[in-house]
């Protein structure tokens, strides 16, 4: 009897010890709305799930993406959740999902993200930069980015010539593409691009529906503004971890979890897009849509040659686009 009691006590102690030894990690989370934002709420669900994978997660909400990135670089955080545009230097493959014109619908986004996070691509999720090892432990969709203009008379790319367009200063792709259409690139950051639009410092911005309410883009649109009802790219967020700080196998378990959340994430995106008033939506003609698709394709291929986008990801995205829309003009063309 004593042996049984001793065994039970030992097992109990061992069980407590195992739970106590769960890896304690700090994860910086960028969200425009801080702890009340949708991205942070999703990360709270993730942190709860992560306990089952052996990680004790402390989430740190940050409304400044540059601070989140710098804290991660400085070792103040063991992981960081931020936009793929900012995270691209850590992993160009995953960071190229948000390439210009690369993902043109939610269905294509879901197919692409599901494929990328599959276990068959696990090797591509890990990178070594200098003496540091990084791993993409998740990708979350934030929605299609649309072009917002303060003056609806700017109803074509040609009329954007000479206009001021806010671009994220750390994303060379945006700068090059804006210059390509003859507009003036005004270097900005996520923390101030909307303010520049709202107070008239710039004429145009690109943003997903996710940003419409919290950044009060309606102020910049006023009574004469508009939104091109044409997706320029699909904004995603990457969860970048230092794998040595997490339990073995954590990355793939986290990626599998993110895939399961996609239906919920896209439902949220659809809801947010529906909340943008119809009065602002500017529909393009079929002719203009095709023209812009070709423009984005040419620009995307040029940016890939320059090394800004990952060539293998461009191939993944083209397959996703053509699996959804087999009649797309590009499906019969070589390249990508």
Contact 268, 68 (CB under 8 A): no
**Confidence at residue 136, expressed as pLDDT on a 0 to 100 scale:** 99
**Confidence at residue 21, expressed as pLDDT on a 0 to 100 scale:** 60
Q: What is the DSSP string of 116-164?
A: HTSGGGGGGGEEEETTEEEEEEEEEEEEEEEEEESSTT--SSGGGTT-E
Who's near 164: CB < 8 A, 6+ residues apart? 183, 184, 186, 201, 202, 203, 204
pTM of the model: 0.91
Gap between the Cα atoms of 174 and 189, Å rounded: 12
**Confidence at residue 160, expressed as pLDDT on a 0 to 100 scale:** 93
Where helices occur in the chain by DSSP H, the ranges are 2-20, 38-51, 65-73, 84-87, 106-116, 172-180, 193-198, 217-221, 250-274, 286-305, 311-324
**Confidence at residue 22, expressed as pLDDT on a 0 to 100 scale:** 72
Angle, CA of 258, 263 and 268, to the nearest 5°: 100
Helix axes 286-305, 172-180, angle to 10 degrees: 130
**Confidence at residue 16, expressed as pLDDT on a 0 to 100 scale:** 40
Q: In a structure prediction context, what are the per-residue pLDDT tens digits for the chain, which is 336 residues long? A: 444 444 444 444 444 444 446 789 999 999 999 999 999 999 999 999 999 999 999 999 999 999 999 999 999 999 999 999 999 999 999 999 999 999 999 999 999 999 999 999 999 999 999 999 999 999 999 999 999 999 999 998 899 999 999 999 999 999 999 999 999 999 999 889 999 999 999 999 999 999 999 899 999 999 999 999 999 999 999 999 999 999 999 999 999 999 999 999 999 999 999 999 999 999 999 999 999 999 999 999 999 999 999 999 999 999 999 999 999 999 999 989
Gap between the Cα atoms of 52 and 50, Å rounded: 5
Full set of structural domains in the chain with CATH: 22-142+234-272 (3.40.190.170), 143-232+280-307 (3.40.190.170)
**Confidence at residue 98, expressed as pLDDT on a 0 to 100 scale:** 96
Retrieve residue 91's tokens: 């992993």
């Amino acid at each position: 009897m004593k042996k049984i009691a001793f065994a039970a006590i030992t097992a109990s102690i061992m069980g407590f010890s195992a739970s106590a030894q769960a890896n304690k990690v700090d994860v910086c989370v960028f969200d425009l709305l801080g702890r009340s934002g949708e991205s942070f709420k999703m990360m709270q669900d993730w942190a709860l799930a992560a306990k089952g994978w052996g990680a004790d997660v402390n989430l740190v909400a940050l409304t400044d993406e540059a601070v989140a990135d710098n804290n991660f670089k400085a070792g103040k955080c063991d992981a960081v959740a931020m936009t793929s545009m900012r995270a691209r230097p850590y992993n160009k493959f995953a960071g190229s999902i948000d390439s210009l014109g690369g993902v043109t619908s939610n269905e294509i986004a879901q197919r692409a993200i599901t494929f990328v996070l599959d276990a068959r691509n696990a090797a591509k999720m890990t990178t070594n930069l200098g003496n540091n090892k990084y791993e993409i432990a998740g990708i979350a969709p934030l929605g299609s980015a649309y072009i917002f203009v303060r003056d609806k008379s700017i109803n074509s790319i040609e009329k954007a010539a000479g206009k001021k367009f806010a671009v994220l200063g750390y994303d060379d792709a945006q700068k090059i593409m804006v210059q390509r259409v003859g507009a003036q690139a005004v270097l900005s950051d996520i923390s101030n691009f909307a303010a520049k639009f709202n107070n008239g410092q710039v004429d145009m911005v690109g943003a997903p529906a996710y940003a419409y309410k919290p950044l009060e883009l309606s102020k910049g649109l006023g009574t004469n503004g508009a939104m091109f009802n044409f997706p320029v790219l699909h904004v995603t967020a990457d969860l970048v971890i230092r794998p040595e700080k997490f339990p073995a196998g954590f990355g793939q378990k986290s990626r599998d979890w993110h895939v399961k959340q996609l239906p919920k994430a896209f439902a949220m995106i659809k809801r947010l897009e529906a909340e943008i008033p119809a009065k602002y939506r500017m529909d393009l003609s079929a002719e203009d849509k095709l023209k812009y698709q070709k423009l984005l394709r040419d620009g995307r291929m040029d940016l890939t040659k320059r090394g800004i986008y990952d060539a293998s990801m461009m191939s993944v995205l083209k397959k996703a686009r053509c699996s959804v829309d087999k009649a797309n003009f590009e499906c019969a063309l070589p390249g990508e």
